[in-house]
Chain A
Amino acid sequence: MTNRERTARFEEQVLVHLDSAYNLARWITRDTGTARDAVQDGCLRAFRAFDQMQGPNARSWFLAVIRNTCIDLLREQRDRAVEEEYDEDLHGSGVAPEGGGGITPEDIAARASDARWLRGCIDALPREYREVVVLRELEELSYKEISAIVDIPIGTVMSRLARGRDLLQQRMLFAHRQFRR
């Protein structure tokens, strides 16, 4: 296979998922500049490893490479600055919300138009929950695909999603109450 053919095949099978890659990188890194760098680096890594690509699902493989690149990049950054700590007082109860404290599903839906507010809620999630929520809700991937990308068993995907949604729901309700105050 010539270099030209290889590049063409890479574009066709992998780079078609560039938007997904960037979206994932943006949500993992929570910064557009870092996301851009991660995707750029990740694509070079992916191209080098393209011949060893496993399985038929190029998107999962590509997103796994991008995710690893993001985590490496964040680790480098963390050496320079401490990552914002997750607020355990707010999110640490581990108990599913009971009835949502008087907030109806309609209240949440009403706030949905405010994308900035929602973005803030997702960004406040710890990374391990944030990434599965984004892969499920924004990329609409199956548990099996998420399991391959994040490299965890399907059962763990299920429990992380459940926990992530609990946290997100709490966060949304909390932000909602703050908004009302």
Chain B
Amino acid sequence: MAGEVTKEYDQKTLWGGGRSPFSVSYGKMMMWFFLISDALTFGGLLASLGFMKHQYVDVWPISEEVFTHFPFTHAHLPLLYVAVMTFILIVSSVTMVLAVEAGHRMDRKNVTFWLFWTVIGGAIFLGSQAWEWSTFIAGPDGDISTWADNATLTQNFYGRGFTGDNPILAPVQYSQFFFFVTGFHGTHVLSGVVINLIILLGVVSGKYEKVGHYEMVEKVGLYWHFIDLVWVFVFTFYYLV
């Protein structure tokens, strides 16, 4: 990026006071502060998931054998839909960065266009997650017919574990981590979509044109990319590894 950050200042000027040594505005730095704290929460969640997996190394369910379904088909396609979801989120991250780039050119029409598709991408992701949750709850065989019976988790071993002389609770912990990690991430996606929508309304109404810059788009962009970043890690550490 051109501008402030590429300017050369000697150390005395840079750190001597009277200006921001990081060459970022207050709002952007606070967004980074928030993202670091949020990243620590997700880092803690994924680290504890790693702890569980490592502890139950022999009995922990393999995600590749759990998530084998694809909407509108009964074919056996392990992890393919999760990969599609990852792709959707990456694409919506790309449309966001294009909106930010258009904002740097003060191109209101393009900011509106790309931000709109970012919101759509986020909404598709949320719908996919709802589908994945309901498929998971419907049972390991994903039999659609069980939906009619108001399927609950207690009807399969992700809800009650393997009972018997030697009960194994790893599948229960597996599903708890599944709902907590993807649910916490999904809450972020939901709030991201809502915030993007609010900013989109601001762009359409010409609010940022009047202010003279589209930094607000860049700040919510940081949050949106962060959501994508977290999903990249969830995809690896929950589904793949």
Do chains A and B stick together as partners?
no
